[in-house]
Structure 1
Amino acid sequence: MTTENANALDLPTRPILSYIKDLPNLCSLAGLGCTLLAIYFIITGVYAAAMIGMIWAVAFDWADGLIARRMKGRTGADSKFGGQLDLLIDIVSYGVTPALLILSYANFHPAFLPVAFIMLVFGAIRLSYFSTFGLSGDAKYTGLAIDNNSISLVFIFMFAGYFERPLFAIVLAICGLSLAILNVSQIKTPKLSGNPRNVVVLAIYTLAVSAFYGSSFV
């Protein structure tokens, strides 16, 4: 097929790995790396380290959007590819990881499987809805943005030491279900990640969370 025909069909003309050179996409992949570490530490039961991985995944996710908006000369293909990459990473970071956290802290008791399944289903629906319809007419999200799941659970987990483990597993499950319901609700929430001030607030929160959980290793 000639280049002209490829362009007519809107087929890609760049190698797949060329999109890694795009700085926002690199930032997204760094967040995915943090998510992988979080999953590893969740499975191995090192929850303090897992919380640090989860919140840094959010920080990189917010940073990639801020970088993308400030970059000059970024192509439409880079932007479109980055949007799809973000979507796929989000389901792992904010759907799979929180669900796995609840299962792990409940010692993988089968009674918690429905909770994990609902969180995954509602997370996937939330992301699909946003991918299809975007922001509402007043530039707000319909439903709670799914990154709030990790932000909230990382905060809630700070109180784990005040409860017996089985009881706190139930607390986590209730919180996870509540967040999942908010993800697919009709409430309108602002796009926090689009505001540079909010990014600064998240950066401070990320450092504070890292210091809090990191102190357990000292």
Structure 2
Amino acid sequence: MIGFYSYTVILTYLSLVFAMVGIHLSVIGIYQWSFICLMMCGICDTFDGMVARSKKNRTEEEKKFGIQIDSLCDLISFGVFPAILGYNLGLSSVGWLAIEILYVLAAVIRLAYFNVTEETRQQQTTEKRKYYQGLPVTTSAFILPFAFALRYVIFGLDYLYGTLMLITGILFVVDFKVPKLKGKGLIALGVLVVVELVQILCFS
């Protein structure tokens, strides 16, 4: 069998599984659990790098494979999945379709740029990455569910979701530095996820 098989890619593949399940749920109208699947994709992707780095004897090919497979899965989980979810929420007009296309295109560009720069960075240093250029696509898993969590507070779910998707997509390709989460940042993210989950599960 081709490919590299080890525990280092389990979370990456699990993220893809959640994305496929979430897409299916959105198609049949179970949006609550579709958004939860999106958040689970984000949780998996947040920690997959830590799991991968825990294996100290990875070959260069394994490292490169990890970079590529991570971005390919991210494209589905945080690019295609959110766009399909938006379409199934009712954002199916020509204007919204254009935004969904631009969102996915921005995710593709962001991920391809990351692959190139990350491979170069790893060749030059063994230090951990301290910041990202542009908004990481993973953040969509925690930003977009706000549309569902706040749908009774702010105007319609579909328009709020579409607006957040447009803003997030633009930030994917805007050149600014985003510090990599660690320590208190991860704790804050954990609190945010819990709040969103409670809002989605208990007020639906």
TM-score (norm 2): 0.84
* Residue in structure 1 matching 2:2, options 10, 13, 16: 16
Residues 91 and 97 of structure 2 are in contact (CA less than 8 Å); yes or no, is this contact kept in structure 1? no
Q: Which residue of 2 aligns with 1:73?
A: 57
Tell me, in whole angstroms, the C-alpha distance in 1 between the residues paired with 2:193 and 2:20: 17
The answer as to 2:198 corresponding to 1:214 is no
The answer as to 2:170 corresponding to 1:181 is yes
**Cα-to-partner distance string for 1:19-38 (whole Å, 9 max, x where unaligned):** 23x11211111111111111
Bigger fraction of residues in helix: 1
Identity over aligned residues, as a percent?
24
More deviation, 58-67/73-82: 73-82
* Residue in structure 1 matching 2:148, options 147, 152, 157: 157
Q: Which residue of 2 aligns with 1:98?
A: 82
* Residue in structure 2 matching 1:121, options 96, 105, 112: 105
More deviation, 43-52/148-157: 148-157
Give how far 1:198 is off. Answer: 3.9
Residues 140 and 189 of structure 1 are in contact (CA less than 8 Å); yes or no, is this contact kept in structure 2? yes
Residues 52 and 209 of structure 1 are in contact (CA less than 8 Å); yes or no, is this contact kept in structure 2? no
Q: Which residue of 1 aligns with 2:45?
A: 61
More deviation, 124-133/203-212: 203-212
Residues 38 and 54 of structure 1 are in contact (CA less than 8 Å); yes or no, is this contact kept in structure 2? yes
Q: Which amino acid aligns with 2:168?
A: L
* Gap regions ≥5 residues in structure 1: 1-14
Residues 143 and 187 of structure 1 are in contact (CA less than 8 Å); yes or no, is this contact kept in structure 2? yes
Tell me, in whole angstroms, the C-alpha distance in 1 between the residues paired with 2:70 and 2:19: 13
* Gap regions ≥5 residues in structure 2: 122-128
**Cα-to-partner distance string for 1:87-121 (whole Å, 9 max, x where unaligned):** 10111111111111221112533331101011011
Tell me, in whole angstroms, the C-alpha distance in 1 between the residues paired with 2:194 and 2:81: 20
TM-score (norm 1): 0.79
The answer as to 2:75 corresponding to 1:88 is no
Q: Which amino acid aligns with 1:177?
A: L
Q: Which residue of 2 aligns with 1:12?
A: none
Tell me, in whole angstroms, the C-alpha distance in 2 between the residues paired with 1:213 and 1:39: 17
The answer as to 2:94 corresponding to 1:141 is no
Give how far 1:128 is off. Answer: 1.1
**Cα-to-partner distance string for 1:36-68 (whole Å, 9 max, x where unaligned):** 111111111111101110111111112211112
The answer as to 2:154 corresponding to 1:168 is no
- Counterparts in 2 of 1:119 and 1:107: CA distance versus 1, 3 Å: closer
Residues 11 and 44 of structure 2 are in contact (CA less than 8 Å); yes or no, is this contact kept in structure 1? yes
Root mean square deviation of aligned Cα: 2.5
